[in-house]
Amino acid sequence: MKIVMDTGVILTALFFGGTSRKIVEAVAQKKVAAYATREIVVEYRAALAKMTAKKPGDLRPDLLLPITTRLHIIEEKPKPPLCRHPGDDRFLSCALDAKAVYIVTGFKDLRLRGAGKSVSMMTAEDLGQRLSL
């Protein structure tokens, strides 16, 4: 199964655990194929840096390494706007280019346009249930 994880899922996995962490662990164990672009990985790192600045202490800067080393990195290809919120376009574009089945997101309100409707949105909890995690 091919998926794209939005930044919120990654942060939830790293800071809070739960089903998001189980999904990330499934990616690290190569049970699920996760895709991203370089730009998405940069967003993951920037969001992690922002969170660790707010919560200094035990967090290591290499926290993303087990995740990012298991991602299938694809080139970002420019597309017309696909989502109501432009920041979500990179995730949907990646999913379309990777022929991913799901974008794993915490947002149930992700609105898709046109070609984007071939990719399904799924919460971490719903994917966890589907994968029996």
Reading the block at residue 28, the tokens are 């690290």
Distances (CA, A) of 96 to 32, 103, 115, 128: 17, 10, 8, 22
- pTM listed for this prediction: 0.86
Res 64: pLDDT: 81
For residue 75, CA distances in Å to 42, 62, 65, 96 come to 13, 23, 20, 12
Beta strands at 33-37 and 102-104: parallel, antiparallel or unpaired: unpaired
Per-domain residue ranges of the chain: 2-130
> Residue 104 carries which DSSP code?
E
- Percent helix / strand / coil, the chain, rounded to 5: 50, 15, 35
pLDDT tens digits, one per residue of 23-68: 999 999 999 999 999 999 999 999 988 888 877 666 666 778 888 8
Collapsing DSSP to helix, strand or coil, 103 comes out as strand
Token pair recorded at residue 20 = 């998001």
Which CATH fold topology does 2-130 show?
Rossmann fold (3.40.50)
Q: Give CA angle at 58 (39, 125), nearest 5°.
A: 55
For the segment 93-122, the average pLDDT, to the nearest whole number, is: 76
Region for residue 17 given its phi and psi (left: phi exceeds 0; alpha: psi -120 to 50; beta: otherwise): left
